[in-house]
Amino acid sequence: MQFRNLKLVSNVVFGRGCFNQLDEILAPHRKGDAPMIFLLDHFFEGKPLASRIPLRGKDKIVIVDVTYEPKTTQVDKLAQELKEEFGTVSGIIGIGGGSAMDLAKAVSLMMNNTGSSADYQGWDLVKVAGVYKAGIPTLSGTGAEVSRTTVLTGPVRKLGMNSDFTPFDQIVLDPELTKDAPANQRFYTGMDCYIHCIESLEGTFLNEFSKSYGEKALQLCQNIFLGNKPWNDANDDKLMMASYAGGMSIAYSQVGVAHAVSYGLSYLLGTKHGIGNCIVMNHLEEYYPAGVKEFKQMVAENNIDIPVGICNGLSEEQFDAMLNVSLGMKPLWENALGKNWESIMTREKLRALYEKL
């Protein structure tokens, strides 16, 4: 038996207002006059957070468009432009939701690796460390701040650059930064965390490491999203730690049915990760009965609309494309349904599930 030797984020700072320590945190990682590059989620363009970024020397803020989830072409272009402008940089700092953080991880790696980021979509294909990188979440739930992947849509696949070089060197967990997230977005991304917990805790890969983190994250999600309470600052603190713990849980197990199906939607229809998982979770009673019941209660109590009918009118070829992407996520299915998963989740059965969405 080969056990995973998990590579973790090296430094973590947590607390309301800890963003103010960024200058001091980055100082020892500055290499001569090579700049720090801040990839800032476009939501914050012109907002007060942008002017709190501690710029020194040739440092630069690059506003990143996260209307669509990150693409390999976007990563390659950003890295190429930085190489042309500066030669080398001291570090890449991603400030935003999962998309901006994933862009920062991938651009950091591509500052030191040759070719296209598409060449590294897969497991352990990255061979050289990137430049120093830090992640600063402004939405909580994806676990991208702790994971060893950066999810990219490339020319032929939607797959992460999974490697020991991918985790951040530093994360800055300041719950104040998530304060202005719209209720819908906060819910969808928060449910990504809830679904990570259910898929990890109900999966066949479960072990005490994943269980410890998963149970804590689940308890935090229940505390936040159940009980018809108005949103308050403490919830931002809790959800940030739920995201961290949920990410740690899946890091040592795997996600499951909702993610495997949602990847197909996202590949074909561009459905975003959080909402896509919710659309699928809504129909998974057969696999996660208690989790789905509770999920529906959270949806109702928080007055959230989950889209339905998104696969209406798709062609045979389109269904086939989604089925292929989804069935390609073998470890997810194995975690969810066991070694025999192929005899349980047949193409017909999965097709019927997609038709319901």
Contacts to Zn ion by CB under 5 A = 192
Residue whose CB is less far from ligand NAD, 35 or 326: 326
Residue whose CB is less far from ligand NAD, 35 or 193: 193
Residue whose CB is less far from ligand NAD, 91 or 274: 274
| Those residues with Cβ within 8 angstroms of residue 122's Cβ, 6 or more apart along the chain or in another chain | 159, 161, 162
Residue 93, H or E segment: strand 91-96
Which of ligand NAD, Zn ion, none does residue 97 bind (CB under 5 to 8 Å by kind)?
ligand NAD
We find the least distance from the C-beta atom of residue 144 to Zn ion, in angstroms, to be 9
Residue whose CB is less far from ligand NAD, 35 or 194: 194
We find the least distance from the C-beta atom of residue 107 to Zn ion, in angstroms, to be 21
| Those residues with Cβ within 8 angstroms of residue 65's Cβ, 6 or more apart along the chain or in another chain | 42
3-class DSSP state of 65: coil
Kindly write down the DSSP assignment for every residue of 136-185, as one continuous string: EESS-SS-TTT-S--EEE-SS-EEEEESTT-S-SEEEE-GGGGTT--HHH
Residue 158 contacts residue 263 (beta carbons within 8 Å)? yes
Q: What share of the chain is helix, strand, coil (3-state, %, to 5)?
A: 50, 10, 35
Token pair recorded at residue 200? 């990890």
We find the least distance from the C-beta atom of residue 272 to Zn ion, in angstroms, to be 11
- Spatial separation of the C-alpha atoms in residues 168 and 12, rounded to whole Å: 10
We find the least distance from the C-beta atom of residue 282 to Zn ion, in angstroms, to be 16
Exposure of 357 in the CB half-sphere (CA atoms within 13 A): 26
With 0-12 / 13-18 / 19 or more C-beta atoms within 10 angstroms meaning exposed / middle / buried, residue 28 is exposed
Which of Zn ion, ligand NAD, none does residue 151 bind (CB under 5 to 8 Å by kind)?
ligand NAD
We find the least distance from the C-beta atom of residue 149 to ligand NAD, in angstroms, to be 5
| Those residues with Cβ within 8 angstroms of residue 338's Cβ, 6 or more apart along the chain or in another chain | 204, 344
| Those residues with Cβ within 8 angstroms of residue 290's Cβ, 6 or more apart along the chain or in another chain | none
Nearest-Å Rg of the Cα atoms of the chain is 20
Which of Zn ion, ligand NAD, none does residue 201 bind (CB under 5 to 8 Å by kind)?
none
Which of Zn ion, ligand NAD, none does residue 96 bind (CB under 5 to 8 Å by kind)?
ligand NAD
Question: Any idea which residue has 């017909």 for tokens?
Answer: 348
Residue whose CB is less far from ligand NAD, 35 or 244: 244
Residue whose CB is less far from ligand NAD, 104 or 357: 104
Residue whose CB is less far from ligand NAD, 150 or 249: 150
We find the least distance from the C-beta atom of residue 75 to ligand NAD, in angstroms, to be 12
Q: What are 161's strand-pairing partners? A: 122
We find the least distance from the C-beta atom of residue 142 to ligand NAD, in angstroms, to be 4
Which of ligand NAD, Zn ion, none does residue 103 bind (CB under 5 to 8 Å by kind)?
none
We find the least distance from the C-beta atom of residue 273 to Zn ion, in angstroms, to be 6
Residue whose CB is less far from Zn ion, 113 or 277: 277
We find the least distance from the C-beta atom of residue 266 to ligand NAD, in angstroms, to be 7
Residues lying near ligand NAD in the complex (CB under 6 A) are found at 41-43, 66, 69-70, 96-100, 102, 138-139, 142-144, 147, 149-151, 178, 180-182, 185, 189, 192, 272-274
Residue whose CB is less far from Zn ion, 72 or 189: 189
Which of ligand NAD, Zn ion, none does residue 181 bind (CB under 5 to 8 Å by kind)?
ligand NAD
Which of ligand NAD, Zn ion, none does residue 71 bind (CB under 5 to 8 Å by kind)?
none
| Those residues with Cβ within 8 angstroms of residue 117's Cβ, 6 or more apart along the chain or in another chain | 72, 75, 76, 79, 106, 109, 110, 152, 154, 161
3-class DSSP state of 88: coil
